[in-house]
Every structure is written in structure tokens, then in C-alpha cells.
């Protein structure tokens, strides 16, 4: 859809098209916030205690859990936006943020 905004300076409040429409519940799943990421979290499985604080605090629900533990395929890269909240909140510093494109450490 294209809008003609050539006369936008004269628009009144009701002339602006409706924004921020949520057509259905859960539609944020279709918005890949992973496209914003410049850094990704790497988890050290040897120091992780499976406390799940990172899972609770992740704003994009990008951390997977299975059997009340962090799952083996723990990170949803389609939705992890690289904000670093998980690394900041981890009580045992088991998560490190690394730049995208760099070689990942062996333990993750
Ligand atoms: S917050 Fe840290 S210790 Fe807790 S589950 Fe996440 S990575 Fe593991
Ligand atoms: S970096 Fe941010 S978006 Fe990605 S898993 Fe951690 S808290 Fe979630």
C-alpha cells in the first residue's frame, strides 16, 4: 500500500492512517527481531545452573526450555535481537555476548 503524503503538513489527526494494528494474537512471532542483531549470546553449558532467569527476562522469548532446563537448541536466532539482557542478568555469568560473524567458542 502506498500513501500520498505530499500534503502531510496540512493533515489533521483523523487524516493519518491507522498504525500499530495487531490483526491477531501472537503475531509478533512473525516479526523476526533477529534481523536487528549485531551480537549474539553464547552460553557456557558448564557454568550454567539452569536457573532459567535468562528465559524469564528475555524480552523476545528467544530462549527455549525443555524439561524445566535450558534446551539443547536453546537460542531462537530468528527472534534473539542481541540485546544482551540475558547476559546481564545471568547470576553466574554463563552468557557472553559475541559479535556476529566471529568464530564461536567451543563451549556454548
Ligand atoms: S541465567 Fe545463566 S545460569 Fe541461569 S539458565 Fe540462564 S544461562 Fe543458565
Ligand atoms: S540477547 Fe536479548 S533477545 Fe537474545 S536471548 Fe538474550 S535477552 Fe533474549
pLDDT values of the chain reduced to their tens digit, one per residue, 108 residues: 677 888 989 999 888 887 777 778 888 888 899 998 999 999 999 999 999 999 999 999 999 999 999 999 999 999 999 999 999 999 999 999 999 987 665 544
CA distances from 60 to 1, 20, 53 (A): 28, 18, 14
- Paired with 42 in beta bridges are 96
Q: Which CATH class is domain 33-99?
A: alpha beta
Q: Which atom of ligand 1 is nearest to the CA of 93?
A: 2
Q: Is the CB of 52 under 6 A from ligand 1?
A: yes
Query: How many Å apart are CA 75 and CA 55, to the nearest integer?
Result: 10
Q: Which atom of ligand 1 is nearest to the CA of 51?
A: 4
The DSSP H or E segment spanning 42 is strand 39-43
Amino acid at each position: 500500500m502506498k500513501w500520498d503524503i505530499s500534503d502531510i503538513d496540512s493533515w489533521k489527526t483523523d487524516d493519518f492512517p491507522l498504525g500499530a494494528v495487531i490483526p491477531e494474537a501472537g503475531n509478533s512471532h512473525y516479526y523476526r527481531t533477529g534481523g536487528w542483531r549485531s551480537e549474539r549470546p553464547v552460553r557456557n553449558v558448564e557454568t550454567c545452573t539452569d536457573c532459567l532467569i535468562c528465559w524469564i527476562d528475555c524480552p523476545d522469548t528467544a530462549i527455549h526450555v525443555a524439561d524445566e532446563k535450558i534446551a539443547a537448541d536453546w537460542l531462537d536466532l530468528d527472534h534473539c535481537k542481541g540485546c544482551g539482557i540475558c547476559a546481564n542478568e545471568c547470576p553466574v555469568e554463563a552468557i557472553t555476548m559475541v559479535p556476529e560473524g566471529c568464530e564461536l567458542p567451543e563451549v556454548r
